[in-house]
Amino acid sequence: MPFTIASQVSYEEDIKKSRFEAIAVPVENEQAAKDFLELHKDLSTTHQCWAWKIGHHVRFNDDGEPTGTAGRPILAAIEGNELTNVLVLVNRWYGGIKLGTGGLARAYGGSAGQCLLLAEKIELIEKKKTAFQCQFNEWAIFQYELSQQQAEYSEEYTAEGVSVTALLQIHQIAPLALKIQDVTRGREQLKIIEEPNDD
């Protein structure tokens, strides 16, 4: 059963005068990971090393540290905690004392690991993208239904009515599909939009 973290957490540690700051954040997809890294660019740091794991996909970056001393140990901390859909960024401000390759791997992996220990682990619930159409007078019923389920959705008004896409947890799909058939008297169906897999 896959787990992710509930919310963003951070952890700071000084190791031989270098300051390490680890930030762990849940990410839904690669774009979210890229956006987070873009947002957290910090020119005051000496190195910004990171790793993320989303499903079976992993990426990591040593950002100028010797190969294998930063990104991979951060990834090992994520995998060691059996987490997915998580990105960990470790910022380092160099303090003048070289740590050596073993020391660097321990510092990056260690601060990532300590940071993840602070995070609340939650079960990762698979979600699917769905879509359906309805008429204007039916939309209020579905809008209420979707907010009750705390589903993320977006609606688009067309000449024919309302075109809706919603991100639903697996167990929410069947009840909503029934509701749609019921309210629209079988006129509309809930469609599952298959996301292209990179696997």
pLDDT in tens, 115-129: 999 999 998 887 889
CA distance 145 to 139: 10
Is 50 exceeded by the pLDDT of residue 198?
no
The letter for the amino acid at 199 is D
Nearest CA among 176, 163, 84 for reference residue 121 = 84
Q: Are 171 and 123 in contact (CB under 8 A)?
A: no
Indicate if 127-193 has the same CATH topology as 3-123. no
Class for the domain spanning 127-193: alpha beta
CA distance 107 to 171: 42
Is 80 exceeded by the pLDDT of residue 199?
no
Mean pLDDT of 142-158: 92
Is 80 exceeded by the pLDDT of residue 194?
no
Q: How confident is the model at residue 146 (pLDDT cuts 50, 70, 90)?
A: very high
Q: What is the mean pLDDT of the chain?
A: 93
Inter-CA distances, 88 with 145, 158, 171, 174, Å: 35, 42, 30, 35
First to last CA, the chain: 19
Angle at which helices 170-183 and 136-148 pack, to 10 degrees?
A: 160
Task: Please state the domain extents for the chain.
Answer: 3-123, 127-193
Q: 3-123 maps to which CATH number?
A: 3.30.230.30
CA distance 106 to 21: 14
pLDDT in tens, 18-65: 999 999 999 989 999 999 999 999 999 999 999 999 988 999 999 999
Is the C-alpha dihedral spanning 43, 100, 119, 29 positive or negative? positive
